[in-house]
Amino acid sequence: MSQGLEHSLTSWSGQALKHQASWIDDLDARVRVVCSGLFALVVVLSHHFIPALLGLLCAFILVKASKLNIKRTLRRVIAMDFFMLTLICILPFTTPGDAMFTVFGLQASWQGLLHALLITIKANAVLLVLFSLVATMSASTLGHALAHLKVPDKLVHLMLFMVRYLDVISQEYKKMRRAMQARAFVMRTNRHTWKSIGYLFGMLLIRSVERAERISDAMKCRGFCGRYYLNDEMKMGRSDLVFSVVFLCFLSLLIGLNINDLFK
Amino acid sequence: MHIVDGALSVPVLVSGAVLSVVGIAIGLKKMDYDNLPLVGVLASVFFIASYIHLPLGFSSVHLIMNGLLGILLGWVAFPALLVALLLQVIFFGFGGLLVLGVNTLNIALPAVIIYYLCYKGIRSENPKVAAIWGAIGGAGAIVITSLMVAFSLALSGESFVLAAKAVLPAHIPIMVLEGFVSYAAVYLIHRVKPEFINKESV
């Protein structure tokens, strides 16, 4: 399990998740970022199953529409659901309420189980929407969208720099790991492993910092004055408007469902 | 380590977000455009550290290394970790969007605390002494982080108290491991490139 995940992590260098072209790609990046943010806000703050389940349904529709690779997307979500599984096991016993069954004198309550399920649904819905709307753009597009949304300039620059170097540094890391493997180093639970990994990490830091100095010198040589320019102009088109209106209507429906239940 | 969306109560989410924003504002103020490349590179090194999985008995754990990041970056750890966590949420699904504030605070505040605690010790002439301070920093950051995770869970409701109590013992092995790894890393840096640690940090 962790092996498969590690692979997808090491090879990521800021590109979008693998997917086929779809109409979601043509939407304005800002619309996608804002919509998924609002979606997270509404779904996480809702108290009832109906809005949360509707949110999850909407998330599935969006994943389908964005033509993400379903298998890989689910694998990412399932990694989180393993954590949720422990929560589902613990919460029924710690929440007071109507008894479902008893184990060793401990009472499991329905309320606890429902609470755990609600959390699971919410967390999955938010992640799936993020994958389909935001992760289908590259990290640098995301950075530009954030800059247009008035996120502090330095933060956006930091993100762009980081995404740029991720690939370079992971290459460096892989190179050193391969050198260790060539010398028959196998990770085990012992002090030798920890020491070697510590040395690897320290060396990675030193090499990266030296590299950062070289990069910044080279950039200054070419007239870099400390900032990128955002040349792309983002324009709201017709389809962006239609999508945002439909999405906002859906979100107000979810909010309405929450309020409706309050009045009962 | 990453708390997911939907688990925490609203007051905890809001206070986490507000405190993180304060930390990020201080961090951004201390960071010039000049040292952006350095901070960017360090942030990506720590991004990569989080996928170094070490075997531990039958399972495996990944490094966090927020203590060492704090020693190197100080307050700038806040924006650096925010960006790293944001990318991890969006592209890998670790954690959640609304809990980003709480998660950033839980990892970055220990980094800043360690920065102030180990500032003197890590700059010692003797590499062994400096490395021991590095180990204290590495292990200490994990202790503070797990305490903060436990608190944010416990404050969110009675039913999470048991989960909160389980957080600390679950992190003891990671703490020991990070201590050893940080010791070796600081020792190596001291031997290979002492001016890297001794110079005024960002």
**ipTM, 2 decimals?**
0.89
Nearest to B40 by CA among A202, A231, A226: A226
Which pLDDT score, from 0 to 100, does residue A263 have? 54
The mean-pLDDT minimum among A7-21, A35-49, B128-142, B182-196 falls in A7-21
Closest Cα in chain B to A158 = B40
**Can you give the pLDDT of all 264 residues of chain A as single tens digits?**
344 444 456 677 777 888 888 888 888 999 999 999 999 999 999 888 889 999 999 999 999 998 888 888 888 888 777 777 777 777 777 777 777 777 666 777 888 888 888 988 999 999 999 999 999 998 888 999 999 999 998 999 999 989 888 888 888 999 999 999 999 998 888 889 999 999 999 999 999 888 888 888 888 898 887 677 777 777 788 889 999 999 999 999 988 888 866 555
Q: What is the dihedral of CA B139, B125, B40, A207, to 10 degrees?
A: -100
Which pLDDT score, from 0 to 100, does residue B47 have? 87
Do B96 and A44 lie within an 8 Å CB cutoff? yes
CB contacts, 8 Å: B193 with chain A: 206
B10-198: CATH topology is Arp2/3 complex 21 kDa subunit ARPC3 (1.10.1760)
| Tokens describing residue B93 | 């699904």
Whether A94 contacts B158, CB under 8 Å: yes
Q: Which of residues 33-92 of A touch B (CB under 8 A)?
A: 36-37, 40-41, 43-45, 76-77, 79-80, 83-84, 87, 90-91
Cα separation values, B135 from A40, B40, B123, Å: 38, 24, 13
- pLDDT over threshold 50, residue B106: yes
Q: What is the dihedral of CA A152, A157, A163, A168, to 10 degrees?
A: -150
Which pLDDT score, from 0 to 100, does residue A8 have? 55
Flag whether residue B22 sits within 8 Å of chain A, measured between CB atoms: no
Cβ count near A132 (within 10 Å): 27
Flag whether residue B160 sits within 8 Å of chain A, measured between CB atoms: yes
CB contacts, 8 Å: A96 with chain B: 158
pLDDT bucket at B62, cuts 50 / 70 / 90: confident
Q: Which residue has the tokens 């790293």?
A: B84
**Which pairs from B47-50 meet CB under 8 Å and 24+ separation?**
B47/A162, B47/A166, B47/B84, B47/B87, B47/B88, B48/A10, B48/A166, B48/A169, B48/A170, B48/A173, B48/A204, B49/A201, B50/B84, B50/B88
Q: So where are chain B's domains?
A: 10-198
Which pLDDT score, from 0 to 100, does residue B63 have? 85
Which pLDDT score, from 0 to 100, does residue A248 have? 93
Flag whether residue B96 sits within 8 Å of chain A, measured between CB atoms: yes
Which pLDDT score, from 0 to 100, does residue A12 have? 77
Whether B106 contacts B144, CB under 8 Å: no
Q: What average pLDDT does this structure show over B107-120?
A: 92
Q: Which of residues 39-58 of B touch A (CB under 8 A)?
A: 39-45, 47-49, 51-57
3-class secondary-structure state, position B35: coil
Consecutive H or E run containing B151: helix B127-154
What are the helix (H) ranges across A95-152?
110-129, 139-148
Which pLDDT score, from 0 to 100, does residue A261 have? 62
Which pLDDT score, from 0 to 100, does residue A6 have? 47
Q: Checking DSSP bridges between strand A99-103 and strand A106-109, what pairing results, if any? A: antiparallel
CA distance A253 to B97: 21
Q: What average pLDDT does this structure show over B30-36?
A: 85
Q: What average pLDDT does this structure show over B134-163?
A: 90
Cβ count near A82 (within 10 Å): 9
Q: Which residues pair with B60 in a beta bridge?
A: B55
- pLDDT over threshold 50, residue B22: yes
Q: What average pLDDT does this structure show over B114-141?
A: 90
CB contacts, 8 Å: A198 with chain B: 180-185, 187-188
What pTM value is reported for the model? 0.90
Which pLDDT score, from 0 to 100, does residue B1 have? 59
Count of A-B CB contacts under 8 Å: 230
Do B7 and A119 lie within an 8 Å CB cutoff? yes
Residue of B6, B40, B161 lying closest to A123 (CB–CB): B6
Do A83 and B91 lie within an 8 Å CB cutoff? no
Which pLDDT score, from 0 to 100, does residue A9 have? 60
- pLDDT over threshold 50, residue B202: no
- pLDDT over threshold 80, residue B124: yes
Flag whether residue A9 sits within 8 Å of chain B, measured between CB atoms: yes
Flag whether residue B66 sits within 8 Å of chain A, measured between CB atoms: no
